[in-house]
Every structure is written in C-alpha cells, then in structure tokens.
C-alpha cells in the first residue's frame, strides 16, 4: 500500500488539497483532525469540559467514531450520525485541540487510523501523521502557510457554507490553536525530520494540487 502523510497547522489547505489529490489518484483520503473534532463535538454536546481529562476518558466508553467512504470521499460518523458538517464549526476546532492533547483520546483513534492505512492506498493528514501515526509513510509533507492566509481560507470556506463568521475571530482562534498544538506535551505539532516543507502561501489551489500529485507519482513510479 502507498501511504502519504501530510502534517501542518489548521487552515494550511491540507484537507482540501489531500481530498482532491486522493480523488484524482484513486486513493482513500483520511482527515484525522475530523476524528478529533468528532470526539470534541461529542463532549460539547454532553456538556463536558474538553479540558476535563477524567470526564473525556469516561465519555470515550460511550463514543463511537468511524469513517465512511462514498466515492472516495470521507464522511465522519459519530454514534451513527453523519457529523461531517457540524465538526467544521469554530467551536469544534478548539474542542478538537483540547481533546487531542489527552493520551487516551489519541490511543482511542490510533488503531482506526493505522487500520485504514494498512488496508488502503491513502493520503492521511493531521498534526502528527508523519512522526507518530505513519512513521514509515512513503512520502511525508509538512504543509503550511502564513496565519493570515490560513485564516482567510478558513473564513472563505465557512462563508461559502453560509456560516456567520468574522475573519478577526478566526485569525485569533487559529493563532491560539497553533500555540496550543505546538506546545502540548503529547504529540505536539512539528515537522518530521524526513518531511518536505511545503509552504502554500503564494500558490493557487491548482498549483498546490498539481505539485502534490507530481510528488506522489514520483514516489509511485520511483
């Protein structure tokens, strides 16, 4: 199986690009951040503080998170409900950052991520895919962009979905999450030593997509 690991901060374009590239190559796309968002969303729905480790760990016993793939497109299921849209709301983003710092949550989702990679050609993105989840991935990228560029992309994405959001609030939340993700003790956001740094700040969607497809094909053919 061919496994591609894409790490990087929120709003860098990982999910959008990886989804498009996977569709073109016939690979499965796995957005691991969506899994953490689902756990965070479940906590919010149950009124559990997402920093309350004991509360989150107890909740995991009654939490069923899974992925469905329809024509290669990932849909996130939480306790039997498709929450693919709900997990994209801003409050789910910080909740995901909080619960992802809890070792029990990472272990809870780890086996699911590994199993998918073992059974499929896949592009998997997240914060620690190349360093922890798929350390032997065929290709590792650390995709990033300036905070302002990433905030604008997230703003445009949410506005296109009809959400009432403010750019300044998204930028502030993104900076907070960057700091929290890179300073946490468990699986902090960082570039794997053998990952390629890929800054997309000044590149169009098609330029990023075509470059990534080129890199993946080089690995497959090489």
The residues facing 140 across adjacent strands are: 5
CA dihedral 191, 149, 215, 14 (to 10 degrees): 70
Closest CA to 177 of 60, 67, 33: 33
| Residue 138: per-residue pLDDT | 94
pTM of the model: 0.79
Per-residue pLDDT of the chain (222 residues; tens, 9 = 90+): 899 999 999 888 888 899 899 989 989 888 888 999 999 999 999 999 999 999 999 999 999 998 887 776 778 999 999 999 999 888 898 899 899 989 999 999 998 899 889 988 999 998 889 988 999 999 999 999 999 999 998 899 889 989 888 999 999 989 998 898 888 887 788 899 999 999 999 999 899 999 999 998 888 786
The parent domain of residue 10 ranges over 3-221
CA pair distance 123, 14, nearest whole angstrom:
10
| Residue 72: per-residue pLDDT | 65
Neighbours of 219 (CB within 10 A): 12
| Residue 187: per-residue pLDDT | 77
Are 178 and 189 spatial neighbours (Cβ–Cβ below 8 Å)? yes
| Residue 222: per-residue pLDDT | 67
| Residue 122 C-alpha from the chain's centroid | 14
Q: What is the CATH number of the domain that holds 107?
A: 3.40.50.300
With both helix axes pointing from N to C terminus, report the angle between 167-183 and 90-99 in degrees, rounded to the nearest 10. Answer: 10
Domains: count for the chain = 1
Is 13 strand, coil or helix? coil
CA pair distance 202, 114, nearest whole angstrom:
33
């Amino acid at each position: 199986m061919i496994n591609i690991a894409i790490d990087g901060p929120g709003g860098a374009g990982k999910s959008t690009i990886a989804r498009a590239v996977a569709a073109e190559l016939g690979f499965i796309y796995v957005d691991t951040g969506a899994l953490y968002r689902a756990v965070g969303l479940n906590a919010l729905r149950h009124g559990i503080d997402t920093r309350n480790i004991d509360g989150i760990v107890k909740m995991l016993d009654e939490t069923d998170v899974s992925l469905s793939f329809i024509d290669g497109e990932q849909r996130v299921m939480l306790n039997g409900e498709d929450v693919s849209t709900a997990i994209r709301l801003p409050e789910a983003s910080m909740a995901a950052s909080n619960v992802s710092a809890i070792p029990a949550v990472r272990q809870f989702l780890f086996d699911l991520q590994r199993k998918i990679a073992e059974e499929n050609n896949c592009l998997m993105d997240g914060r620690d895919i190349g360093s922890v989840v798929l350390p032997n991935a065929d290709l590792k990228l650390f995709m990033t962009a300036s905070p302002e560029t990433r905030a604008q992309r997230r703003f445009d994405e949410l506005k296109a979905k009809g959400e009432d959001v403010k750019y300044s609030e998204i930028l502030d939340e993104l900076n907070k999450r960057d700091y929290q993700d890179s300073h946490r003790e468990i699986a902090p956001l960082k570039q794997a030593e053998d990952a390629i740094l890929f800054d997309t700040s000044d590149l169009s969607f098609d330029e990023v997509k075509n470059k990534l497809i080129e890199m993946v094909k080089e690995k497959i053919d090489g």
